[in-house]
Chains A and B, each alone.
Chain A
Amino acid sequence: KAGVTQTPRYLIKTRGQQVTLSCSPISGHRSVSWYQQTPGQGLQFLFEYFSETQRNKGNFPGRFSGRQFSNSRSEMNVSTLELGDSALYLCASSLASVSTDTQYFGPGTRLTVL
């Protein structure tokens, strides 16, 4: 089975722009979670989607949004980019949204905001 894929792998944007990141889960997985990783704040949970519905949301401003499609692929969008949004964005997929599931992570998208 193919693993979790994220596109693009690297992205450079300027302040004020918006960006969309994509995550394709492992085939058959219906839950996708997103995390932001920065040197200062570490790994922080952004949100989780299951069957096209947002299940959980972390403490991030409304500029961060996401969605999930019927094929379980997920996108996250960041509008009005700030320098502090520079980070590695990781997504993880699992079969469902239950605690017994194992999450598998993608390689991440490295976003640099200039």
Chain B
Amino acid sequence: AQTVTQSQPEMSVQEAETVTLSCTYDTSESDYYLFWYKQPPSRQMILVIRQEAYKQQNATENRFSVNFQKAAKSFSLKISDSQLGDAAMYFCAYRSLEYGNKLVFGAGTILRVKS
């Protein structure tokens, strides 16, 4: 079974600075998808970024980028120019190609943004 580990329960960043959230996963599969979701206090889960395992190029979405290290099974999220609106719980998630839309989530990292 696949597992996802987020070792940082909480992180803080100053507004306009850069922060990196860590995620590692365990799988025996060679092809899969990885995601970062954001859950603000409103509780609505929002997709931040996704990465296909077969792509070597790291995904980027505006201020959000990932560092995908397939051999190390590591998938970190970098947020540049942090904004107050980035404050939320961030979840790393894994999706197998074999189990449809089933997502396996990490425990989450609370990100606090200081003004």
Chain A: residues with CB nearer than 8 A to chain B? 31, 33, 35, 42-45, 48, 50, 55-56, 58, 88, 90, 92, 94, 97-99, 101-108
Closest 5 CB pairs of A and B: A105-B45, A43-B105, A97-B100, A99-B97, A55-B100
What are the residues of chain A within 8 A of B42 when measuring CB–CB?
A: 107
B44 close to A97 (CB less than 8 A): no
Decide: A31 near B107, CB < 8 A? Known: A102-B50, A107-B42: no
Closest to A41 in B: B107
Interface size for chain B: under 10, 10 to 19, 20 to 34, or 35 or more residues?
20 to 34
Dominant secondary structure of chain A at its interface with chain B: strand
Between B43, B45, B95, B107, the greatest number of chain A beta carbons within 10 A of the residue's beta carbon is seen for B45
Question: B residues near A, CB below 8 A?
Answer: 32-33, 37, 42-47, 50, 91, 95-97, 99-108
